[in-house]
Structure 1
């Protein structure tokens, strides 16, 4: 069995949130030793470079490519899966070796990656997003179905539901179709045709049903949620709040006390604003919601002790440019080491993968990212990725021409 040593790099230790010189020894896809002066059959010279654990993005949509909604719905149905394979490759090249797909990817895409048919991050999938009638995931507008970004197919069930018993059946359908996590919209959204993010969706008995039924299958619930919709989701036991604008102090206190995660997706706001400035064809009421979207709750969440994990909502900001999120987290008051933790061990813990991913420690899967320069400098980190290893195998090397 070949032993490969990554020698002489500056390692980001996600446990201590520090970076120090060390070697990493890898055998059979696992990290077997971390220290100095390690020996091996082969070595990778990491002198002058940083070495990070494989990064994790907890909120992507790999089957979506454009932030132009009307352009997206005019594409052939099956194109999403081919574009999805390309988007997965771009994400992997950015150093993101694991993702949680927040609606779009189906079980076939996850299995294709696991079998090596397509290159990409390993995935947890939600398939689609539970929505009440008229909610964020309902494609019907006042008079017609205009924009259905996630049309149902045999691997992606329809998800507009009302009442606890409909929710019970739908959660079971999603589990049957291969979901690893159940996603629901407990508030309106920015780019949907209905209510804005300040309007709560689903009542307590409905949210409690989705949480309890998911738990019966051993799965967590992630909630697209803002404002009062986030408060209801936290009150009823969801594992993570996605986006999380307009969170008041009571909600943040509950999240900190219950260990409810926040996945801020700051990149999405940047992407939406850029799209509006570039003249994207959003209806005026959606443009107004984008403009109304205020500063995120991250700074106050950090102060309140809310656990935070990285997520981008790509493609609202493009696939492959995921690491902008780290810079945005730092702008919102996180230390660079804490932002990296949000993208490594925190993200792994949110996804229930902390025992196998998220840090460079013996026994864990050998996902490593070699970067140019100081690993604690997150500025333009995505442009400094030199090599990406997944389970000890080189899956991307930068072309330095």
Structure 2
């Protein structure tokens, strides 16, 4: 049955405007029409009146980790949990993410290989609720790098599923990429530099050569996939851009040359510039090394983000959810505005630009006929980023999955 959503305000991220009094018609999980509310609703179409709420596209997070212990700086916790425990916890993480208004995520790596693939498939089958997902399967990382569990006593060997993406040379990279993609991954996640949270690694230090990164890009392209590169340090960022990755994750130390390369290659930036605020407020969760590396990175990353905004780099919305509790990602919208974006630019980053980065702009990212009916509603000012911290209505694939608008029930009619 077709459904019409009437809203007092509609966020048009393509035009960068908020439009008054619109109706969005949904049928078969897709948006079929978007028109002014003054036009009559066809007979037989169920009307849902959202009252004064503002309707926006479902949000997209390019950088989540739905599998594994959330908001936990102790990576040894990974080894204390079974795969079944992690899969069941991931169901809760997926539900919380969807309820927060994120109808799509790109899940960019889990320490235990392929649990994210199983979660994505369960969501697609309708077994559990959650956002539509593009998943990485595992990290591709050097054995002592940011994508591995480090700090074990010498001589101890982790199970294969925790070392699945470990690489030493170019042939290793090619083999791992092929195995990940044939195992169900949608995107390849490379760890090109050290990491803030991984013990013993240096965020600014390169960990993969340009040849290794280029090999991953080449192999992924044969499978119709692409590469996202975790990269904090300037040299690792440049290697990744020159090698052809789709997006730079984090982008902490962008210099002028890095920015020029991103513009030349059309590389997207996915920078998690909010979550360090949460980390500082929850310091007891992390050790001294992690806190020191975060302190050193935060200001540099935000200044790099502002520089990228001014230069016109393609900027998506990636939060590193999982490093903090799932469902809190919308807090980053305000931080993006503090560092150079307008509210509607930030919202476009969290919708259409992120959809473009994923190669899914034909199906998600805006309220456009033909796209999936992934929609959210907020009661506050849609140009106030804090309004999205209180999403009241979520529709995915034309199905209402959350409804906290008191006007919704009495205003329905068939």
Q: What's the TM-score once normalised by structure 1's chain length?
A: 0.93
Give the equivalent residue in structure 2 for 1:133.
143
Quote the offset at 1:308 in angstroms.
Answer: 0.6
Is 1:257 matched up with 2:264? yes
Q: Take 1:86 and 1:234, find their aligned partners in 2: how far apart are those partners?
A: 35
Is 1:8 matched up with 2:18? no
| 1:147/1:88 CA distance change after superposition, 3 Å | farther
After the TM superposition, list the runs of 4 or more consecutive aligned residues in structure 1 that deviate by more than 6 angstroms. Answer: 145-148
SS in 2 for 1:242: strand
Conserved 8 A contact 1:30-1:391: yes
Conserved 8 A contact 1:139-1:147: no
Give the equivalent residue in structure 2 for 1:110.
120
Q: Take 1:225 and 1:127, find their aligned partners in 2: how far apart are those partners?
A: 19
| 1:366/1:381 CA distance change after superposition, 3 Å | same
Give the equivalent residue in structure 2 for 1:33.
33
Conserved 8 A contact 1:252-1:301: yes
Quote the offset at 1:340 in angstroms.
Answer: 0.3
Quote the offset at 1:269 in angstroms.
Answer: 1.8
Q: Which of 21, 43, 53 is the aligned partner of 1:49?
A: 53
Conserved 8 A contact 1:10-1:51: yes
| 1:8/1:191 CA distance change after superposition, 3 Å | closer
Is 1:230 matched up with 2:199? no
User: Structure 2 stretches of 5 or more lacking a match?
Assistant: 407-414
Q: Take 1:121 and 1:365, find their aligned partners in 2: how far apart are those partners?
A: 12
Quote the offset at 1:17 in angstroms.
Answer: 1.1
SS in 2 for 1:344: helix
Conserved 8 A contact 1:221-1:239: yes
Q: Take 1:147 and 1:13, find their aligned partners in 2: how far apart are those partners?
A: 52
Give the equivalent residue in structure 1 for 2:401.
395
Q: Take 2:342 and 2:67, find their aligned partners in 1: how far apart are those partners?
A: 32
> Which whole-Å deviations, capped at 9, do the CAs of 1:251-308 have from their partners, x for residues lacking one?
01110221100000123322332232xx2252x3333212211322210000111101
| 1:144/1:69 CA distance change after superposition, 3 Å | farther
Q: What's the TM-score once normalised by structure 2's chain length?
A: 0.90
User: Structure 1 stretches of 5 or more lacking a match?
Assistant: none
Give the aligned length: 392
Quote the offset at 1:133 in angstroms.
Answer: 2.8
Quote the offset at 1:152 in angstroms.
Answer: 4.7
Q: Take 2:156 and 2:405, find their aligned partners in 1: how far apart are those partners?
A: 42
SS in 2 for 1:191: coil
Is 1:196 matched up with 2:195? no
